[in-house]
Amino acid sequence: MSIIKRWEHFFLSDAVAWLAAIAVGGMIFFLNVSLDLDAASTLFYIALVFMSADIFTVSVFLIVALGCLVMLSANFIANEGYLDQDLVAGFVHRLIVLAAITLLALRSKKASSLLRRNEAVFLGAQKLSRTGSVGIIIGREVRLWWSEESSRIFEYPLDVTPTIALVRARIYPEDLRIVDRALEQVANHQDFIEVEHRLVMPDGRIKHVQMNARPLSKHVGYIEYVGALMDITASKQSEEALFHSQAKLSEVTRLTSMGELAASIAHEINQPLAALITSGECCKRWINRPEPNLDEVRKSIDRIIQNSVRVSDVITCIRALSRHSEAQRTVERFDDVVSDSLALMQHDITFHEVRSQIQLGAPDAMIRADRIQLQQVIINLIINACQAMASVHDRARVLSIQTSVREGEAVLEIADSGDGISTEILPSLFDPFFTTKPTGLGIGLSICRSIIEFHGGRIWVSSTLKIGTRFVFTLPLERET
Ligand code: ADP
């Protein structure tokens, strides 16, 4: 226990409080009796009441206050003050003053202990939830303040006064522009500010924080914002771990199913092809004989036709497999399919630091579609858009998504502010296995086109270099049932 704590403990122990109160009270009583200074003694009693309200517990304080009242009365009786009319009036007056001050001191003591308790609960809650408070005041000069928990999040000593320079020193360099944008919003007196960014500690550890702030008071040339600063590192890490395992899982599933599919296609086609070669060679042998055996030749040709039909059947099956069956198409609300796909992509959009502008303008449009396939198309277009904007650093990364109904069709437009596509490669975009990415497969857009055409729609792209790319697809509307 520190010296100060020990001293406090010593001071607050009830026995010592008793002794101190009796000693001071006795001394005042003695002064009062011996020197006959009524007004001065009342002042001493008032001072004693105030003092004890500050340092003693409620029960000790009440006993001290009661003691003062008793001593004041005892002194009055001992001096036979009741014999004089004027002295009685003065005594009653002093008694009322002392009692009123006792009540007031008691009230303020209760209020301040409630305040202390609330503060302790508040600080405890901040520590538990890893949420601190922060504030910025913009007047003649810019001033910052923060709670203990905020200084712990920033890992500065508790007694350090925060400044913009200290805050910036902890911001992850790539996220400085996010913080600068938030400061601009503060300067523009925006009503609500929400930012999420990373911090980098002196030992290289990365923290993720989220801050929401609102103006507390503002008048001409002055504004104060208060905000909550949350350390979301743990939830970010688990979110990222989940995202990585999901991505890995879908990659493994895709490769496994593609590998399995390729193996089964090879097997299904190899057998009839081998039979075709054998039948062709037999046919040649029967014809090359000095006397060709036309019956055997006919039989071989029949086998060739049978095996060719088999190969063609296998290919028809593969087509059906890639297109799914008609039975999975149901009537869907177009905007719902789009917003569900967006919800699935929220993590990617945030991860790529992309601002999304969503305008769902076809609330009544119904379509007949395979929901999963359509989501696959939308997700693929969003992934491509986010990837196309990854290299953009000199302007805002904006993903704009709009739905509408035009000429009896439901329309979805997905536009990005990426670097665009050159006119030479634009016509090849939907070709299978066309890719410009080092690890791309180049089948995403060709699958998108086959799904949209299978649903009776159209898909196209337009692009301007250094401005961005816009993919549009349309689907026929279904009459609402
Ligand atoms: P992948 O993404 O595997 O390359 P895709 O078929 O989805 O396959 O895309 C084919 C190519 O189209 C991409 O490699 C890229 O060059 C181009 N592309 C697609 N979407 C965009 C876009 N929004 N902006 C710029 N280029 C794009």
CA distance 197 to 465: 30
**Among 311, 302, 305, 304, CA closest to 280:** 304
Ligand 1, atom 13, residue with closest C-alpha: 435
> With 90 as the cut, is the pLDDT of residue 98 above it?
no
What average pLDDT does this structure show over 94-105? 86
Q: Please give the residue that has the higher pLDDT: either 242 or 37.
A: 242
Residues 203-248: pLDDT tens digits? 999 999 999 999 988 888 889 999 999 999 988 888 877 777 766 6
Q: What is the pLDDT of residue 21?
A: 62
12-21, 40-49, 455-464 — which is least confidently predicted? 12-21
On the question of pLDDT at 314 being above 90, the answer is: no
Ligand 1 center–CA 389 separation, angstroms? 12
Kindly state if the Cβ of 434 falls inside 6 Å of ligand 1. Answer: yes
User: 46 and 98 in contact (C-beta within 8 Å)?
Assistant: yes
161-179: average pLDDT: 93
Q: Is 427 in the pocket of ligand 1 (CB under 6 A)?
A: no
88-97, 160-169, 244-253, 323-332 — most confident range:
160-169
Query: How many angstroms separate the Cα of 102 from the Cα of each of 54, 107, 109?
Result: 12, 9, 10
Helices (H), 205-232: none
Set out the domains of the chain in order of their start, with CATH numbers: 2-126 (no CATH), 130-231 (3.30.450.20), 243-476 (3.30.565.10)
Q: 3-state class of 426 per DSSP?
A: helix
The residue behind tokens 């979110």 is 239
From 255, 392, 401, 429, the mutation candidate for ligand 1 (largest count of ligand atoms within 8 A of CB) is 429
Contact assessment for residue 130 and residue 231, using Cβ atoms and an 8 Å cutoff: yes
Instruction: State how far the Cα of 111 lies from the Cα of 437, in Å rounded to an integer.
Output: 67
Ligand 1 centre distance from Cα of residue 435 (Å) = 6
What is the predicted pLDDT for the residue at 200?
Answer: 95
* Mean of pLDDT values over 268-279: 83
- The pLDDT of residue 168 is 93
| Segment holding 146, helix H or strand E | strand 142-146
Is residue 135's pLDDT more than 80? yes
Burial environment of residue 244 by CB neighbours within 10 A (0 to 12, 13 to 18, 19 or more): exposed
Note the pLDDT of residue 366: 95
How would residue 11 be classed by pLDDT, with cut points 50, 70 and 90? Answer: very low
Ligand 1 atom with the smallest distance to the CA of 418 is 24
Mean pLDDT of all residues in the chain? 83
**Residue percentage of the chain with pLDDT more than 90:** 36
pLDDT attached to residue 348: 81
Q: Is the CB of residue 162 below 6 angstroms from any atom belonging to ligand 1? A: no
| pLDDT of residue 445 exceeding 60 | yes
Lowest model confidence (mean pLDDT) among 170-174, 351-355, 369-373, 394-398: 369-373
